[in-house]
Amino acid sequence: MMSMKRMLLASIAGLAALGLSVAPTLAQTSPVTPAQAPGEPNAIPLNTGGVDGQTAPETWFNQWGDTFTRNVTVATLTPVLPKPGTANGAAVVVAPGGGLRWLSMSNEGWEVAQALADRGIAAFVLKYRLQPTPADLGEFERNMNGMFAAGAPRPPRPTVDPMSAQPGGPFANPVADAEAAFALIRSRAGEWGVDPDRIGMMGFSAGAGTTMATTLAGGAAKPAFIAPIYGGMDAVAVPADAPPMFVALAIDDPLFGNRGIGLVQSWHRAGKPVELHLYQNGGHGFGLGNPDRTSLGWFDVFMRWLDVNGFLKPKA
């Protein structure tokens, strides 16, 4: 389970990603320490290209006891499959968050994927391409602290829709990576025991944004269901073929807990299946949940939602 420290880190990371400021002492409570890159023996390159202007190598770091990566220029997909004889045919692409500048690989990637696999669902962790950060870890940390500092200037308002998957949009590379992930899973569905018609996508924070942008882009991914977890809640134009959607959010989320539920209302008004769980507490970045927080139970509710909607049963 995610610790309170993890939740705090995710909260301030998300605030920084949106150009908001918090007290600098929050950012400095736990140092950023370098980490050796994991072996990732099962990671499959998606061959979606690099990142324009990126010269710094991919690096890993630890903070709050969690593992993160940044400067990702080579997108990969890591399968986490159920034990033999336990698979039900459903699959989920898991997109970690991190403000599009780093990825919370343990809290919102590997741990979630393993929880899905333990329930018989084939999970695939998407390590998508990120926006550049300084190569030097110290400079990276100073930049982070500068973003957190009280009174730090906000970044300029984007000239494109923040959810845009079009060239120049912040989600262009992540969406291309997600579409390649869906194509790969479908091409190897027989090998991995996956029903091509029951592949969904789940994302956390910026990963929730990636999930929504992938859905709204109208490309070839076409997830069978989506689960944006503590992501943006602004209203959207809902595609005619929009899939069923499950949303989990804590009302005390400092980013999105007080910004309405326009996204959910958009889905409902379009006549598309949607379920919202708005929890009393949990903050931002709670992953699978924290002890003594009501949001701890969201994953079990999500499993029931998948089951009731028929995603855990083979088609007759």
- Evaluate whether 26 touches 144 at the Cβ level (below 8 Å): no
Residue 199: closest CA among 298, 264, 124, 303: 124
Per-residue pLDDT, 8:
41
Per-residue pLDDT, 158:
40
Per-residue pLDDT, 316:
66
The Cα–Cα gap between 200 and 222 comes to 8
Q: How far is CA 277 from CA 4, 177, 206, in A?
A: 21, 28, 19
- Evaluate whether 6 touches 285 at the Cβ level (below 8 Å): yes
Rg of the chain over Cα atoms, rounded to whole angstroms, equals 18
Per-residue pLDDT, 142:
84
4-308: CATH topology is: Rossmann fold (3.40.50)
pLDDT in tens, the chain (316 residues): 444 334 444 444 443 333 333 333 334 457 889 999 999 999 999 999 999 999 999 999 998 889 999 999 999 999 999 999 999 999 999 999 999 999 999 999 999 999 999 999 999 999 999 999 999 998 988 887 776 564 544 444 444 455 556 666 899 999 999 999 999 999 999 999 999 999 999 999 999 999 999 999 999 999 999 999 999 999 999 999 999 999 999 999 999 999 999 999 999 999 999 999 999 999 999 999 999 999 999 999 999 999 999 999 987 6
- In the chain, the largest separation of any two C-alpha atoms, in whole Å, equals 59
- Residue ranges of the domains in the chain? 4-308
**Whether the model pTM is above 0.95:** no
- Evaluate whether 77 touches 43 at the Cβ level (below 8 Å): yes
Per-residue pLDDT, 51:
96
Per-residue pLDDT, 27:
42
